[in-house]
Amino acid sequence: MIVFVGDWVKISGMWKQVVLVDASKDSFATLDSDGANLWWGINVPQMFDDHVSNSQMQDKLREAGL
């Protein structure tokens, strides 16, 4: 999976936005409830339910009336 800053990933049923990418370690970070970075390995696809770009997520939110 290739992710970019701003993309959205669905992890354990919850959508989280990618805030940092570390290409050298094949990992990316989302934020936890305290605002700390949670790092995820890109090579663990079974953890991820879905992945969309930020523009696709904005379209989905707009369609939902949000």
Q: What is the pLDDT of residues 10-63, one digit of tens each?
A: 888 889 999 999 989 889 999 998 999 999 987 665 677 888 888 888 888 899
What's the pLDDT score for residue 44?
Answer: 65
CB proximity list for 39: less than 8 A, separation 6 or greater: 22, 27, 28, 29
**Structure-model confidence comparison of residues 64 and 43, the more confident one:** 64
In the chain, where the domains are located: 8-63
At 3, the pLDDT band (50, 70, 90 cuts) reads confident
31 bridge partner residues:
37
- Asked if residue 5 has pLDDT above 70, the reply is yes
User: What's the pTM?
Assistant: 0.78
For residues 31 and 34, give the distance between their C-alpha atoms in angstroms, rounded to a whole number. 8
What is the distance between the alpha carbons of residues 5 and 27, in angstroms, rounded to a whole number? 11
